Amino acid sequence: MITVSNLKKSYGDFDVIKNISTTINKGEIITIIGPSGTGKSTFLRCLNLLERPTSGIVEFEGKNLMDKKTNINEIRKKMGMVFQNFNLFAHMSILDNLCVGQTKLLGISRAEAEKTSFELLKMVGLGEKANAYPDELSGGQKQRVAIARCLSMKPDIMLFDEPTSALDPTMVGEVTSVIKRLAQSGMTMVIVTHEMNFAKNVSTRIIYMDEGGIYEEGPPELIFENPEREKTRAFIKRIKTFFYKITSGNFDFIELTNELGNFCSANALSKSNIDKAQLITEELSVVLIPRDDLRSVSFNFPEDQSNFILTVVYGGENRDVTQKPQSDKLSKSIVIGIASEISHSYSDNENQLIVKW
Q: Counting contacts by CB under 6 A, is residue 37 touching ligand ADP?
A: yes
- Least distance between Mg ion and beta carbon 40 (Å): 5
Q: Does 345 bind Mg ion (CB under 5 A)?
A: no
Residue ranges in the chain assigned as alpha helix (H): 40-47, 72-78, 94-105, 110-123, 139-152, 169-184, 196-202, 220-225, 230-238, 253-266, 271-282, 329-338
Q: Which stretch binds Mg ion (CB under 5 A): 37-45, 118-126, 302-310, 322-330?
A: 37-45
Stretch that binds Mg ion, among 36-44, 67-75, 176-184, 348-356 (CB under 5 A): 36-44
Cα gap 264→268, rounded to integer Å = 6
What are the CA-CA distances from residue 342 to residues 183, 296, 320 (Å)?
A: 28, 17, 9
176 near ligand ADP, judged by CB under 6 A: no
**Least distance to ligand ADP, CB of residue 36, Å:** 4
Between 41 and 193, CB nearer to ligand ADP: 41
Dist CA 177 CA 198 (whole Å): 9
Amino acid identity for residue 56 in this structure: G
7 is a contact residue toward ligand ADP (CB under 6 A): no
As a whole number of Å, the CA-based R_g of the chain is 22
What's the closest the beta carbon of residue 149 comes to ligand ADP, in angstroms? 22
Q: Does 41 bind ligand ADP (CB under 6 A)?
A: yes
**Closest residue by Cα to residue 181 from 330, 348, 300, 5:** 348
Residue 42 sits in the site that holds Mg ion (CB under 5 A)? no
Q: What is the DSSP string of 223-258?
A: HHH---SHHHHHHHHHS-EEEEE--STT--HHHHHH
Residue 174 vs 216, nearer CB to ligand ADP: 216
Q: Report the distance separating Cα 32 and Cα 30, nearest Å.
A: 6
List of residues 6+ apart from 314 with CB closer than 8 A: 289, 290, 293, 294, 295, 321, 350, 351, 353
Q: How far is the CB of 70 from ligand ADP (least distance, A)?
A: 23
| Buried/exposed 262-282: b ≥16 CB within 10 Å, e otherwise | ebbeeeebeeebbebbbbbbb
Residue 41 binds to Mg ion (criterion: CB under 5 A): yes
Among 13, 36, 62, 317, binds ligand ADP (CB under 6 A): 36
Give the residue with the Cβ less far from Mg ion, 49 or 287: 49
Query: Is 38 an interacting residue with respect to Mg ion (CB under 5 A)?
Result: no
Contact partners, residue 22, CB within 8 Å, separation at least 6: 3, 4, 207, 214, 217
Kindly indicate which of the ranges 34-42, 55-63, 89-97, 166-174 contains the residues binding Mg ion, using the contact rule CB under 5 A: 34-42
Binding status of residue 16 toward ligand ADP by CB under 6 A: yes
Q: Is 42 in the site for ligand ADP (CB under 6 A)?
A: yes
Site string for ligand ADP, 60-89 (x = CB under 6 A): ------------------------------
Size of the site for ligand ADP (CB under 6 A): 9
Cβ distance to Mg ion smaller for residue 41 or 188: 41
Q: Which is nearer to Mg ion, 41 or 141 (CB)?
A: 41
Distance CA 126, CA 144 (A): 8
CA–CA distance, 102 with 87 (Å, rounded to integer)? 17
As measured in angstroms, the least distance from the Cβ of 124 to Mg ion is 24
Instruction: Determine if 53 is a binding residue for ligand ADP (CB under 6 A).
Output: no
**Interaction of residue 194 with ligand ADP, rule CB under 6 A:** no
Residue 106's SS3 state is coil
Question: Which one of residues 39, 140, 173, 227 is an interface residue with ligand ADP (CB under 6 A)?
Answer: 39
Interface residues with ligand ADP (CB under 6 A) are 11, 16, 36-42
Binding site for Mg ion (CB under 5 A): 41
